[in-house]
Amino acid sequence: MALLNGKIIHPDEPLAAAVTEAIRSGELAELTRLLRNNPDLASARIGDLDAASGCGLRSLLHVATDWPGHYPNVAATIAALAEAGADVNARFAGGAHTETPLHWAASSNDVAALDALIDAGADIEADGGVIGGGTPLADARAFRQLEAAFRLVERGARTTLNDAATLGLLDRIESFFAGGNQPSEAEVTLAFWGACHGGRLPCASYLLERGADLNWIPPWEKLTPLDAARRSGSEELADWLQSLGAKTAGRT
C-alpha cells in the first residue's frame, strides 16, 4: 500500500516522488490529478520515523516550503493543498523541533509562501521553531531572513525585545521600557546582541545605555557582539563597538 494508515508515504515510493516533483516544479495540473486520485494524499506525511534514517515526517506543505524554498507557483500550490484538506499548521515529526510550514517558509525567506500560508489560516505565533522552540518570526530573525521577518511583522506577528532589536524597530524597543518598565539585564543583553547581529547601531546604542553586556557570548554561537556586527557587514557598528573596548570571541 502506498499509504500506511492513510498517513505515511515512504520517500522511496513512486507516489512520494511524484507528488514532491509536482509541488516543487509548480505543476498544478499534475498536483490536482494526484490529489484527486489519492483522497488521503493532502493529509499524508512523507518520510520515515526510523531514527536511523534521520528524515522524519513532513506534510506536503512542508515539501512546498522546504529549503531553499521559492518554488514555482508556490502560492497556488499552497492554496490547492489547503483546499484539498492539508493542515496548514501541521508539525514536522521525528526531530528535535516541531516546525510548521510557516516556520520553514520564514527560514527560507519565502514571502510568497509565507503570505499564502497565512491567508490559508496558518498560526503566525506557532511555537516549535528550530531557534529556541520559538515562532516563525524567531526563525526568520535568527537566520537574518529579513524580507520574511518584516513581512511577518506586517502581517501581525508579535515582536519580542530581541526581535525588535534585530530588525531595527527602535520604537518597539522603546515601548518595552515605557512607563517605568525595565526588562531584565539578560533580556537587554540578548537584545543588544541581536541588534549587533542585525547591524542596528541605533538599537545597539539604546540597549547598551540600559545595561547590556558589551562582550556577552551566547551559548548557541561563539560570537561576541563585535563579532556579530562584523558578520552583519556593518562596519560603522563594528567600529563604534571597538571604540568602546568591545572584544572578539578570541580575546574576551
pLDDT in tens, 21-73: 999 999 999 999 999 999 899 999 999 876 455 578 999 999 999 999 999 99
Q: Among 159, 172, 242, 235, which Cα is nearest to 203's?
A: 172
Q: What is the overall mean pLDDT for the chain? A: 93
Element (H, E) at 111: helix 111-119
Stretch 73-90: mean pLDDT:
97
* Class of the domain covering 8-158: mainly alpha
Q: How far is the C-alpha of 166 from the C-alpha of 170, rounded, in Å? A: 10
Element (H, E) at 9: strand 8-9
Same fold, 8-158 and 165-251: yes
Please tell me the CATH superfamily of domain 165-251, with its number: Ankyrin repeat-containing domain (1.25.40.20)
Taking the model in full, what pTM does it have?
Answer: 0.91
The domains of the chain are located at 8-158, 165-251
